[in-house]
Amino acid sequence: MRVQVQRRLFTVEEYHRMAEAGILSEDDRVELIEGELVTMSPIGSRHA
Protein backbone atom coordinates (compact mmCIF):
# COMPACT_ATOMS: atom_id res chain seq x y z
CA MET A 1 0.00 0.00 0.00
CA ARG A 2 1.41 3.37 -1.00
CA VAL A 3 0.76 6.42 1.15
CA GLN A 4 0.70 9.85 -0.46
CA VAL A 5 2.35 12.54 1.68
CA GLN A 6 1.62 16.18 0.98
CA ARG A 7 4.22 18.73 2.02
CA ARG A 8 3.34 22.19 3.25
CA LEU A 9 5.79 25.06 3.09
CA PHE A 10 5.76 27.83 5.70
CA THR A 11 6.17 31.56 5.23
CA VAL A 12 8.47 33.69 7.37
CA GLU A 13 5.39 35.24 8.99
CA GLU A 14 4.03 31.79 9.92
CA TYR A 15 7.44 30.82 11.31
CA HIS A 16 7.45 33.89 13.57
CA ARG A 17 3.86 33.25 14.67
CA MET A 18 4.81 29.69 15.66
CA ALA A 19 7.52 31.14 17.90
CA GLU A 20 5.11 33.70 19.38
CA ALA A 21 2.52 30.96 20.06
CA GLY A 22 5.11 28.81 21.85
CA ILE A 23 5.19 26.08 19.22
CA LEU A 24 8.86 26.86 18.65
CA SER A 25 11.06 27.93 21.56
CA GLU A 26 14.49 29.55 21.70
CA ASP A 27 15.93 26.12 22.53
CA ASP A 28 14.59 24.56 19.30
CA ARG A 29 17.45 24.23 16.87
CA VAL A 30 15.49 24.78 13.67
CA GLU A 31 15.65 27.26 10.84
CA LEU A 32 13.38 28.05 7.93
CA ILE A 33 14.98 27.27 4.57
CA GLU A 34 12.91 27.77 1.43
CA GLY A 35 9.71 27.20 3.40
CA GLU A 36 10.86 24.04 5.19
CA LEU A 37 11.69 23.75 8.89
CA VAL A 38 15.13 22.18 9.03
CA THR A 39 16.81 20.85 12.17
CA MET A 40 20.16 22.54 12.68
CA SER A 41 23.31 20.64 13.62
CA PRO A 42 24.21 20.74 17.31
CA ILE A 43 26.73 23.34 18.42
CA GLY A 44 30.09 21.66 18.86
CA SER A 45 33.14 22.93 20.69
CA ARG A 46 34.54 24.31 17.43
CA HIS A 47 31.39 26.43 16.93
CA ALA A 48 30.85 27.59 20.50
pLDDT value at residue 47: 60
pLDDT value at residue 38: 95
pLDDT value at residue 42: 79
Of 34, 42, 1, give the one whose Cα is nearest residue 15: 34
pLDDT tens sequence across 7-44: 999 999 999 999 999 999 988 999 999 999 999 987 77
pTM of the model: 0.71
- Classify burial at 24, counting beta carbons within 10 Å of its beta carbon; exposed 0-12, middle 13-18, buried 19 or more: middle
Hey, where are the domains in the chain? 1-36
pLDDT value at residue 22: 96
Q: 3-class SS at 11?
A: coil
How far is it, in rounded angstroms, from Cα 16 to Cα 22? 10
pLDDT value at residue 45: 72
How far is it, in rounded angstroms, from Cα 4 to Cα 23? 26
